[in-house]
Structure formats: C-alpha cells, structure tokens
Structure 1
Amino acid sequence: MNRETVIAQALDLLDEVGLDAISTRQLARRLDVEQPSLYWHFRNKKELLSAMAETAMAPHATAPLPAPGQDWREWFLDNTRSFRRTLLMRRDGARLHSGSGPGPADLDRIARKMAFLTASGLPEKDAQMAMLAASRFTVGSVLEEQADTDLSTARPANIPTIDHQAAFEAGLALILDGLAHRAEHAQESTRTLPDPDRIN
C-alpha cells in the first residue's frame, strides 16, 4: 500500500458514498488494512481530503496552458469549462475542492495564465478579479448542480428542472462580456491620453 493507492481508493469511495459518509475506518476496511496504517501516509482526515482534492483536479491542472497569440476570450471560456468538467468528474467534487488551497505548481500555472491575459491587453487587476469570479462562480454552480442531483427525486412536480449547463454558460458569458468591456474601456483610455511630448 502506497500513498497513491490510498488516494485512488479514497476517491473511489467518495464516488460510492459521498463526502459526508467518508471515514478513515471505511477506507481502511476497503484497503484491507488496520486504520492506524493510514497514518503512515496522512496524519489526519483533513490531510487525506486535501490530497484527494489535489488528485481529483489533475485533469484541469495538467491541461495545456494558453499559447502566445491565442485569443484570450476563447481561452477564458475553455479554461473555465475545463474547471467545471473536472469538478463534475467526482461525486461532491465541488465540495471536496472548495476547502483546498493551491499548491506551488498551481500558483505557477495561475501566474502563467495571468501573464497571458495581461500580455493580451487586459488590465492586471481586472484579469485577476475575472479569474477569481469565474472560479467561484464555477464552484458555486457545480455545488448547486451536484446537490440538485441528490435531491432530484424529492423535487415537487410543479418545480421546473434546471438546465445546469445552460445556466452555467449564460453566467460565464456575462463574466466574459464584463471583462471584455473593461478591457476595451482600458484600451480606449490609453488611446485618449495626451502625448506628454506634445504638451507645451
């Protein structure tokens, strides 16, 4: 038994029973080991959940970074959609992710994404806030979608079914339109600034 095996089995258990029902006792039984054996790899359940969250995000964390000259709008949409798809890959994926923080590799990728956006002409502060807004919007959307899946059988007949993907795309478009508007405004402001060499 190694760390990777423990994480893989823990994620499979997550898919079967959900985040609330996961316990180190269940995981040990699944691995056919004594519960204290898990503490060779993880000091506590919180550390295990953090490792699970990091592994669960691998499909998004290893996605190609933006290329120079790529359309930033297209990339922004693709990046956010990739994040959503990854969260949806695991039961309670959004809840698992929401309590985790970025590691060194994540911070490096975020810095490179930000450098791409600013090189594309976006104001740095606006790009930062748009990335944060898109991330939190996506987590919130998936939280609602995964909760709705669990509660769908109990929904009254007169309550309409929500098209979660359509709602996500509509919200994402609003974030993108807002960022594009701020970028255009910043570029216009730069163009209308007086040339200091021409001021007498």
Structure 2
Amino acid sequence: MKITGLRKTDAERRTQLTRERVVAAAVELADRDGIESISMRRLARELDVEAMSLYTHVRNKDDLLDGMVDAVIGQIPTDGDGPDWKASLRRIVLAARGVVLRHPWAPRTIQTRATPGLAVLNYVNAVIGVLREGGFSVAQAHHALHILGSRALGFTQDLFDDSGALEPEAASRLASELGATHPYAVEMALAVTHTGVLGPCDDDVEFAFALDFILDGLERLRGGKPARRRPHTAT
C-alpha cells in the first residue's frame, strides 16, 4: 500500500523554521564537526531546506555565529545570590567553564565577535552585580573584569598546548637534547603532574587554581568593604 502526503514540501519546511531552530542546529553541528563545518549551505542540508530560506532568520554567517555564541552563553546560570561574593562569583565562573567545555568551539568563536549579544550582556551584568553587591566600587569592578578576562566566561588561552602525554622515551630524548640549553623548560616538562605521573596538566585544576588566586587578589583590592544590601523589591 502506497502512503502519500507524509513528505513535507520545501515551503512547509521553511515555514517551520525559526531563528532558535536554525541557531540550535548550528550549535549541534559545531559540537559534532567543529566550527569550521559551519556554512549556510551545510546548515541548510542539516535542516533539509534550501540555503536561501535560512536568510529569513539569520542575516548572514556573522549573524549566525552571534546567535550561536548567545545560545551557549545563555546556558550559564547567573544566580549570584548569597552572602559571600567570592563564593558566588566562583560558582558562576566554574559553571561557565562547564558550559564552554561542552562546546569546545565556543571560546575561539566568542573571541571573534565584535558586538555582545543579549545573553552575553546578561551574563556580564550578573558578574558585575556580584562584585557591586559584594562591596566593590564601580572602578574596582571594572578592574576586576579586566583581571578576570576570558576566565570570567570559563576559558583562557594557554601559553602552549600541553594536552599530549609525555612518553618515557620522549622524556629521555627531551632531557638529552635540550637539558643543557633549556634547563628550566625541560625541568617543567619532566615534572610530575597532578596525577603523580608524567603526562598532561589537569586543565580544570589549573583553571580553578588561577581563579582562586585572582579572587584572593580581588579580595585585597576590595579592602574588606562590607557587602551592599540589596534593594528591597516588592512582591
């Protein structure tokens, strides 16, 4: 028995598209195949529509990338309520790290965006709010944002890639070839890592260590000022 009428026409598929659906499909594609896979033509194939139909919802690829960044940043919880500004900010930033780790393409893409979207502004506003309610002046909060840098969004740009494990033979060769001319670099390369054996650094440990170091420094900048009392909001 032949069943007809189940296949949607191009017009029907186009009418079902929304900006949210287009952006969500792009995020899923980038998660799976990397940010390099993003093009209007490839995304249209993923959505089973004509490429031109996407332009009803996103102006161009830059607009699509802006939407993707906003969608990712919008996943970060921004509840900064609590008596301790440091604990609140630490919780928010580590939550941001959890989000960007699920979308490994996001850090590089965030750095290419010229104008922050609404989700990014909401997030930054929440971070500033934690600082201001924690007793920081406007100027100090401004300094704090610069000090935190991209770490506030859950990522940093490392000096070099140390993600590969150092095998014993490679370690021995490194020591013999460079030990005399670059003793300190070799010493660090051969040092034990957080797991007690030769291998890559634990990026999460390093991220949290640096974040705590920064927060301790911001505490000194704050100078022991009392936290501000939040304005009462009528319910």
Q: Same fold per TM (> 0.5)?
A: yes
Moved more, 166-175 or 85-94: 85-94
Identity of aligned residues (%): 29
The partner residue of 2:217 within 167, 175, 178 is 178
Q: Is the 8 A contact 1:98 1:139 kept in 2?
A: no
**Map of 1:103 onto structure 2:** 117
The partner residue of 2:54 within 38, 60, 73 is 38
* Residue type of the alignment partner of 2:108: R
Q: Is the 8 A contact 1:10 1:27 kept in 2?
A: yes
Q: Is the 8 A contact 2:100 2:155 kept in 1?
A: no
**Map of 2:148 onto structure 1:** 134
What do residues 48-89 of structure 1 show as CA deviations (whole Å, max 9, x unaligned)? 1111111111221xx24322x520110121121112111112
Q: Cα offset for 1:32?
A: 1.1
Gaps of 5+ in 2: 1-16, 172-188, 190-198, 226-235
Q: Cα offset for 1:153?
A: 8.6
Residue 8 of structure 1 pairs with residue 7 of structure 2? no
Q: TM-score, normalised by structure 2?
A: 0.65
Structure 2: how far apart are the matches of 1:99 and 1:168?
Answer: 22
C-alpha RMSD of matched pairs (Å): 3.1
Q: What secondary structure, in the 3-state scheme, does the structure 2 residue paired with 1:59 have?
A: coil
The partner residue of 1:119 within 120, 133, 155 is 133
Structure 2: how far apart are the matches of 1:105 and 1:26?
Answer: 26
Structure 1: how far apart are the matches of 2:119 and 2:98?
Answer: 20
Q: Is the 8 A contact 2:89 2:127 kept in 1?
A: no
Q: What secondary structure, in the 3-state scheme, does the structure 2 residue paired with 1:121 have?
A: coil
* Residue type of the alignment partner of 2:132: T
Structure 1: how far apart are the matches of 2:204 and 2:219?
Answer: 22
The partner residue of 1:71 within 75, 84, 88 is 84
Higher relative contact order (CA 8 A, sep 6+): 1
Higher relative helix content: 1
Judging changes above 3 Å, is the alpha-carbon distance between structure 1 residues 11 and 111 closer, same or farther for their aligned structure 2 residues? closer
Q: Is the 8 A contact 1:88 1:142 kept in 2?
A: no
Judging changes above 3 Å, is the alpha-carbon distance between structure 1 residues 116 and 136 closer, same or farther for their aligned structure 2 residues? closer
Gaps of 5+ in 1: 188-200
**Map of 2:94 onto structure 1:** 81
Give the count of matched residue pairs: 181
**Map of 2:174 onto structure 1:** none
